[in-house]
């Protein structure tokens, strides 16, 4: 009590638990510097996407463009509207289906191995855990997926191999076993509920914080997919939005490192299909905005989630 009131009185004076005002000022200056260096490069992309192409040609990318313009978006939509719609659709379907399926598979697994009456719990926990310690690596995965499962140029290759993550399963297991649910589970059983019903109607509803965190991580993972597209996918109708942007950057680099190509027909056609600088920035804006618009609302979830993950499995 006394502490509280004394705090109120000395509100404007230095409190012993805090750093002095001079140190605080210095820290603030540093923090502003770091925060701005995180924000400004991203802001530059947004500004550049609204800059007239001629202004970029003359003065380069700038925070204070000589001329604003919406042309980049107009051009981007005119030239590749079809591809953007397809890529966006693919990304969103993949993200939604992937996140839902992934949560379903991982929570069932995590819940089962969290039950101490389950005889195979130790073996199955290790079965998942071992995939974190050792992996076949890129080449065997690629050969297995293409030759044995025939997943080359298949949409499934973006989805199936990413559905289970041992790390997430172990975090979920820790969450399920730390909340002592056994009295509820026993009670539900007396009432004749089966295991699956207990999982779906009792465990999932009370595990919302864990589901939100793991779901968010999984959704961002699916939303950011481009490597698998580059590795396995040939047809443009299966591109994701991230890969569409990656492909633009890749083609630019390809032309830059093979200048003689520009003389050839192939190179000229490639150059014609490439968006100009501002349109490239507009495409980047389309790629990053969905996540950037959402993450501040989820901040409290993943702050909690990371602390969740630090609990030893």
User: How far apart are CB 44 and other proteins at their closest, in Å?
Assistant: 6
**59 or 82, CB closer to other proteins?**
59
Check if the beta carbon of residue 110 is closer than 8 Å to that of residue 172.
Answer: yes
User: How far apart are CB 219 and other proteins at their closest, in Å?
Assistant: 11
**85 or 303, CB closer to other proteins?**
303
- Rounded to the nearest 10 degrees, the angle between the axes of helix 121-133 and helix 166-178 is 140
What phi, psi does 51 have (nearest 5°)?
-100, 145
Check if the beta carbon of residue 243 is closer than 8 Å to that of residue 232.
Answer: no
User: How far apart are CB 121 and other proteins at their closest, in Å?
Assistant: 8
User: How far apart are CB 67 and other proteins at their closest, in Å?
Assistant: 15
User: How far apart are CB 27 and other proteins at their closest, in Å?
Assistant: 5
What is the C-alpha to C-alpha distance for residues 252 and 271, in angstroms, rounded to an integer? 8
**Residue 239: CB partners within 8 Å, gap ≥ 6?**
83, 86, 87, 90, 229, 233, 247
Could you give the residue ranges of the DSSP H alpha helices within the chain? 2-9, 21-49, 53-59, 71-114, 121-133, 138-143, 156-159, 166-178, 182-190, 195-198, 204-206, 208-223, 227-232, 241-257, 265-273, 277-309
**264 or 307, CB closer to other proteins?**
307
- DSSP-assigned letters across all residues of 104-127: HHHHHHHHHHH-TT-TTHHHHHHH
What is the C-alpha to C-alpha distance for residues 229 and 223, in angstroms, rounded to an integer? 12
**Residue 107: CB partners within 8 Å, gap ≥ 6?**
172, 199, 203, 204, 207, 211
User: How far apart are CB 210 and other proteins at their closest, in Å?
Assistant: 16
**273 or 307, CB closer to other proteins?**
307
For residue 147 the two structure tokens come to: 């030759």
**266 or 296, CB closer to other proteins?**
296
User: How far apart are CB 263 and other proteins at their closest, in Å?
Assistant: 20
**86 or 91, CB closer to other proteins?**
91
**128 or 171, CB closer to other proteins?**
128
């Amino acid at each position: 009590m006394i502490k509280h009131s004394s705090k109120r009185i000395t509100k404007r004076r230095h409190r012993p638990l805090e750093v002095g005002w001079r140190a605080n000022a210095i820290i603030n200056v540093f923090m502003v510097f770091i925060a701005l260096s995180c924000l400004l490069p991203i802001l530059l992309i947004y500004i550049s996407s609204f800059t007239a192409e001629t202004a970029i040609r003359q003065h380069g990318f700038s925070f204070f463009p000589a001329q604003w313009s919406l042309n980049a978006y107009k051009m981007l939509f005119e030239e590749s509207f079809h591809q953007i719609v397809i890529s966006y659709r693919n990304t969103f379907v993949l993200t939604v289906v992937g996140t839902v399926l992934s949560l379903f598979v991982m929570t069932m697994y995590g819940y089962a191995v969290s039950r101490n009456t389950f005889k195979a719990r130790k073996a199955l926990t290790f079965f998942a855990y071992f995939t974190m310690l050792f992996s076949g690596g890129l080449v065997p995965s690629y050969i297995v997926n293409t030759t044995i499962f025939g997943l080359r140029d298949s949409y499934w290759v973006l989805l199936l191999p990413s559905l289970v993550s041992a790390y997430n399963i172990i975090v979920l297991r820790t969450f399920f076993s730390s909340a002592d649910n056994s009295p509820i589970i026993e009670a539900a059983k007396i009432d004749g509920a089966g295991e699956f019903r207990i999982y779906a109607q009792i465990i999932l509803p009370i595990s919302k914080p864990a589901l939100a965190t793991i779901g968010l991580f999984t959704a961002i993972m699916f939303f950011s997919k481009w490597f698998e597209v580059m590795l396995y996918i040939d047809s443009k109708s299966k591109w994701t939005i991230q890969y569409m942007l990656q492909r633009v950057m890749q083609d630019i680099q390809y032309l830059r490192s093979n200048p003689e190509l520009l003389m050839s027909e192939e190179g000229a056609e490639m150059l014609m299909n490439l968006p100009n600088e501002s349109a490239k920035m507009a495409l980047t804006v389309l790629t990053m905005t969905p996540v950037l618009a959402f993450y501040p609302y989820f901040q409290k979830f993943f702050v909690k989630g990371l602390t969740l993950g630090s609990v030893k499995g």
